Structure 1
Amino acid sequence: MTSKPFFIATVLTLVCASAVAAPEPEAELREVLSAHEQALDNHDVDALMGLYAPGEETVVMGTTPPERWVGKAQIADAYRHFFEDFDAGTLERDCPWMQIGISGDTGWITANCEYTDSLKGESRSFALNVTVVMQKLEGAWKLRTMHFSNPTAP
């Protein structure tokens, strides 16, 4: 017969072990955003498209109204053009302010980010506001909407 203290200790150990082993949902969202930045830095359109949810309701938006790409075909084409704007392997991101949230199968990240990269060997830096909405599909977080904009002076 098992003693009550032994049983309680065993249950607590199992609960704690599962809590340690399970990744935090917010960490999963950060991982998707990091995977996006890595694929972007590598100019890897296939890896980028693997991060996006399927369907024509998936959207990437930029700063101005014409900067809107809907569905994977348009989004992939947009990224191919983005690749022309910086040298592969030079993109670095730091987001000094970031807010993350999850409700059910929907997650979001809103951030102010500072980027550095180079174009034809010329270093540069710039800031972007980034908003990402993700949907959990078949156990994996997928990008549903990404919006980035360049902050402008008043």
Structure 2
Amino acid sequence: MKSMKHTLVAMLGLVLMMALPAAAQSSPEEVADAFNKAIESADEAAVERLLAPDVMILEGGHAQKSRADYMAGHMKSDMAFIPHMTRTVLDRQVSADGDLAWVVTFSTMKGSFKGKDYDFSSRELLVMKKTDGTWQITLVHWTDK
């Protein structure tokens, strides 16, 4: 009986953790890390919680003008590609002004995907807005060179 009680308590704790918004991270930097981890681990629910409904995502020559656009389209490609890369953060700058924040991350990406080797520099700009105490990403701009 005691182990069943512990199991129920653990399951309740897990359910409560999953119910909390992933964007409720305490800092914009934590939101940036959670977003990258969600893509790497193909956690679509976390991506949905972290992105504002009206997020704009700019990548190369592509733009998704909402969370729904990204999730229905290019997100799948990102989730297929990113787990094959090793990302090394070289520099990160975090700034905030009231309920707005931005995180600029410079990194390198190395790996192999579908028989092709990759080794490139990446720049990520995330702009976030805090609403009701929760940070959500409102702009993603990825560039590589």
Is the pair's TM-score, using the shorter chain for normalization, greater than 0.5? yes
* Corresponding residue for residue 43 of structure 1: 42
After superposition, give the CA deviation of every residue in 1:89-140 in whole Å (9 maximum; x if it has no partner).
Answer: x443222122210000000012221123442586643211111100111211
Distance 2:59 2:89 in 1: 18
Between structures 1 and 2, the one with greater strand share: 2
Distance 1:37 1:91 in 2: 12
Identity, % of aligned positions: 22
* Corresponding residue for residue 70 of structure 1: 65
Going from structure 1 to structure 2, the CA distance change for 1:80 and 1:102 (only over 3 Å counts) comes to same
Going from structure 1 to structure 2, the CA distance change for 1:117 and 1:39 (only over 3 Å counts) comes to farther
Going from structure 1 to structure 2, the CA distance change for 1:95 and 1:87 (only over 3 Å counts) comes to closer
Distance 1:87 1:105 in 2: 30
Distance 2:144 2:33 in 1: 20
- Which of 78, 95, 120 aligns to 1:82? It is 78
Larger relative contact order (Cα-Cα within 8 Å, sequence gap ≥ 6): 2
Alignment of 1:1-154 (within 5 A): 28-54=27-53, 56=54, 58-64=55-61, 67-76=62-71, 77-84=73-80, 86=81, 88=83, 90-120=84-114, 124-151=118-145
Is contact 1:109-1:133 (8 Å) kept?
yes
Q: Which runs of 5+ in 1 are unaligned?
A: 1-26
Distance 1:141 1:47 in 2: 13
Distance 1:34 1:113 in 2: 13
RMSD: 2.1
TM-score (normalised: structure 1): 0.68
Q: Which runs of 5+ in 2 are unaligned?
A: 1-25
Return the index of the structure with the highest Cα Rg.
1
Cα drift, residue 145 of structure 1: 0.2
One-letter amino acid matched to 1:92: T
